[in-house]
Amino acid sequence: MQVLDVLAVLLVLGAAAAFTFGALALTRSNDVEALYFLVIGAVALRAGVQIVRPGASL
């Protein structure tokens, strides 16, 4: 695996963790924290996909 592939996998795993933390924050009725984790998860997931997309420029 190349370094960028490893970075993309780490970003996707981080996004999954952020979505999980966001869901847990929703169960505690902490809307601001849940929204924060949702945004972090979405940004990390998009970054992970953009890195491995063919023809993507850094």
Q: Report the domain count for the chain.
A: 1
Indicate whether 33 belongs to any domain. yes
Residue 35 inside a domain? The answer is: yes
Residue 5 token pair: 């592939």
- Going by pLDDT thresholds of 50, 70 and 90, the confidence category of residue 58 is low
* Residue 58 domain-assigned (yes or no): no
* Cβ contact 58:25 at 8 Å: no
**Residues whose CB is less than 8 angstroms from the CB of residue 9 and which lie 6 or more positions away in sequence, other chains included:** 48
What is the value of pTM for the model shown?
Answer: 0.82
Kindly state whether residue 57 falls inside one of the protein's structural domains: no
Task: Give per-residue pLDDT as tens, 7-54.
Answer: 999 999 999 999 999 999 999 999 999 999 999 999 999 999 998 887
Q: Show the domain range for 39.
A: 3-52
In a domain, 14, yes or no: yes
